[in-house]
């Protein structure tokens, strides 16, 4: 639309004129009910001017007042080269009544562009077919008659009227872009014609478009690229003028747009690959200028080249190439920042998980130092300190191993172990915590299955899931553990009867530091890092996590890893 406004047609209108029924005419001649009388009056006056042709842009499909219809029929019979209108409504053509159509040399459709997404009429279909009936547009029929041509020749890509070839493809309803005149089509109202007979001379040897121009009665008003609201009769007159001038646009080839975008992208890459600093930015600016100018230059040559695609391609590729070097530097910086962040998180992980064994060691050592305990009690406390110290050591080693796994600096141990042994070891560690909350730990089935991988890391993952199940379950509930090999996979599931998760919480549960609102409100201490580590461990074992949960209905966390199948021949030896 911007290019239409910036580059309007240079030629002035000479071939057509509007005879309008405006608000003043309606007021003077009896209103909308007297439209057919007004049409008859206009045609009776026009005969004396000897116009080249007359186009009546109004559908006359319904019967009216018999007297008015008879008068209009006589006026039609006395009007040479009369073109009447039809419209397509609900799949059926509303043609003029036979008493009117027999005086017409042609009947054309009065439909504008009905597929415009924004309501702006930029083109009209030159042909519309429905069922077995097809009609050319009013403007095309008027143009054919003005050139004295009986038949319109067709090909898949264009239409030919005499010596004029109209680029209108069959695949697009023979649509033609309208070149609206900036000054519009000359017009005279019927009221002015009746009061000023000298105006009749202006209709001589012209294509006269007769129609309703009233702002209240014309229901077919549409917007033009000039942001003006005009009635359908003027749209058809503008289309006639476009045909009369031969001012046609053609679309660029389908391959031209992606080819131009590719050229712009390649040039942008070359500029910023071989140049830097102000030189690169200057050349990039020239490239953007080229992308702006090419569509407009082609428009002046009557070629419609999409504006948005090449412009977007130019800006995106130039901007992307311009910041490429910057992003390379930022990427290295970000990598360094990520390493530092990971280190801080690792420290946070360790300090959080070390709190429990350290507290136990500290409390036990204070008991030994503060009280005079017997040998058995001292031995018991010493054993507990030793056990917690080993646990702390394993914990630190586990976190360090996980960090090395994240960085790809550690290989998993290749151990074969039974799921039953793994689960039993974790249950022994979790049972004291469960007993304090009167939570039953139930083994569902035989804990079947064998896996291969790093037992220590997998034990940490299962233990973490068990402690979470106990931690976020109410007293007197149950936690069930099951392990089953299914279709080459080992599915180790831990199901609780706790608070459960919302659907959106399930999607985020394995993110680092993520905790649900209910978990935070429960009073249980946590940092939201345990499940992230579990997910990471399982992924490094070529597995995945599966979570089924609902609020107040508990959760079921399932570790799914490849099951290990022993070679029967090796086992028998």
Residue 46, pLDDT score: 93
Indicate if the pLDDT at residue 34 is higher than 50: yes
Tell me which of 287 and 553 has the higher pLDDT.
553
What integer pLDDT is reported at residue 478 of this predicted model?
A: 94
What integer pLDDT is reported at residue 183 of this predicted model?
Answer: 78
- pLDDT above 70 (res 215): yes
Helix, strand, or coil (residue 337): helix
Q: Is pLDDT at 571 greater than 60 in this prediction?
A: no
Cβ neighbors of 332 (< 8 A, separation 6 or more) are none
- Dihedral, CA of residue 341, residue 345, residue 346 and residue 350, to nearest 10: 160
- 478 Cβ neighbours under 8 A, 6+ residues apart: 439, 440, 441, 442, 496, 497
pLDDT band for position 323 (cuts 50, 70, 90): low
Q: What percent of the chain has pLDDT over 70?
A: 85
- CATH code of 415-569, in short, is 3.30.565.10
44-53, 359-368, 531-540: which range is least confident on average? 359-368
Interior CA angle at 141 toward 162 and 35, to 5°?
155
Distance of CA 19 to the CA centre of its chain: 47
**Average pLDDT of the residues of the chain:** 83
pLDDT tier at 313, thresholds 50, 70, 90: confident
| Structure confidence at residue 398 (pLDDT) | 61
Least confident of 50-59, 63-72, 507-516: 507-516
Q: Is the pLDDT of residue 324 over 70?
A: no
CA–CA separation, 339 and 336 (whole Å):
5
What was the pLDDT predicted at 360? Answer: 73
pLDDT of residue 391: 74
Mean local confidence (pLDDT), 75-81: 93
pLDDT, average across residues 465-486? 92
The secondary structure element, H or E, covering residue 236 is helix 232-245
Please give the pLDDT value at position 311: 73
The pLDDT assigned to 402 comes to 61
CATH of domain 341-406: 1.10.287
Q: Domain residue spans in the chain?
A: 2-249, 252-322, 341-406, 415-569
Cβ–Cβ under 8 Å, residues 39 and 68: no
Any idea which of 299-303, 319-323, 368-372 has the lowest mean pLDDT?
319-323
């Amino acid at each position: 639309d911007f290019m239409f406004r910036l580059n309007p047609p240079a030629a002035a209108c000479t071939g057509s004129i509007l005879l309008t029924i405006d608000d003043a005419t309606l007021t003077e001649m009896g209103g909308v009910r007297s439209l057919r009388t007004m049409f008859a009056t206009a045609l009776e006056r026009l005969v004396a001017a000897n116009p080249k042709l007359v186009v009546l842009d109004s559908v006359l499909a319904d019967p009216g007042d018999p007297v008015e219809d008879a008068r209009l029929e006589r006026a039609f019979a006395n009007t040479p080269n009369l073109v009447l209108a039809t419209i397509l409504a609900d799949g059926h053509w509303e043609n003029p009544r036979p008493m009117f159509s027999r005086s017409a040399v042609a009947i054309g459709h009065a439909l504008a562009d009905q597929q415009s997404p924004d309501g702006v009429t930029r083109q009209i279909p030159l042909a519309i077919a429905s069922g077995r009936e097809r009609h050319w547009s009013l403007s095309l029929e008027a143009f054919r008659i003005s050139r004295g041509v009986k038949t319109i020749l067709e090909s898949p890509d264009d239409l030919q009227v005499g010596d004029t070839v109209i680029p209108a493809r069959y695949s697009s309803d023979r649509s033609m872009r309208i070149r609206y005149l900036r000054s519009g089509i000359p017009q005279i109202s019927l009221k002015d014609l009746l009061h000023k007979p000298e105006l009749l001379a202006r209709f001589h040897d012209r294509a006269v478009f007769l129609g309703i121009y009233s702002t209240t009665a014309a229901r077919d008003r549409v917007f033009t690229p000039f942001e003006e609201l005009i009635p359908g009769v003027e749209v058809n007159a503008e289309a006639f003028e476009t045909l009369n001038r031969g001012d046609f646009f053609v679309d660029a080839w389908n391959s031209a747009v992606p080819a131009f975008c590719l050229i712009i992208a390649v040039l942008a890459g070359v500029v910023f690959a071989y140049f830097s600093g102000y030189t690169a930015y200057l050349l990039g600016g020239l490239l953007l200028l080229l992308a702006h100018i090419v569509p407009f230059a082609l428009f002046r040559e009557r070629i419609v080249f999409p504006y948005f695609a090449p412009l977007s391609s130019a800006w995106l590729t130039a901007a992307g190439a311009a910041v490429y070097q910057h992003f390379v530097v930022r990427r290295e910086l970000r990598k360094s920042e990520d390493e530092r962040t990971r280190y801080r998180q690792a420290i946070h992980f360790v300090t959080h998980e070390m709190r429990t064994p350290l507290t136990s060691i500290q409390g036990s050592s204070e008991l030994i130092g503060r009280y005079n305990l017997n040998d058995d009690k001292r031995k018991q406390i010493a054993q507990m300190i030793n056990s917690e110290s080993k646990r702390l050591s394993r914990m630190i080693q586990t976190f360090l191993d996980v960090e090395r796994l994240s960085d790809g600096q550690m290989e998993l141990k290749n151990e074969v172990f039974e799921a039953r042994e793994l689960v039993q070891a974790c249950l022994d560690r979790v049972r004291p915590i469960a007993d304090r909350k009167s939570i039953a730990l139930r083994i569902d089935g035989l804990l079947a299955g064998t896996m291969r991988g790093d037992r220590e890391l997998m034990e940490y993952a299962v233990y973490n899931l068990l402690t979470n199940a106990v931690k976020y379950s109410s007293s007197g509930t149950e936690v069930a553990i099951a392990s089953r090999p299914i279709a080459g996979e080992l599915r180790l599931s831990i199901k609780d009867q706790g608070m459960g998760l919302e659907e959106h919480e399930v999607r985020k549960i394995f993110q680092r530091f993520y905790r649900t609102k209910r978990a935070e409100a429960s009073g249980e201490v946590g940092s939201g890092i345990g499940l992230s580590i579990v997910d990471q461990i399982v992924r490094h074992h070529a597995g995945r996590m599966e979570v089924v949960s609902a609020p107040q209905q508990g959760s079921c966390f399932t570790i799914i890893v490849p099951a290990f199948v022993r070679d029967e021949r090796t086992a028998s030896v």
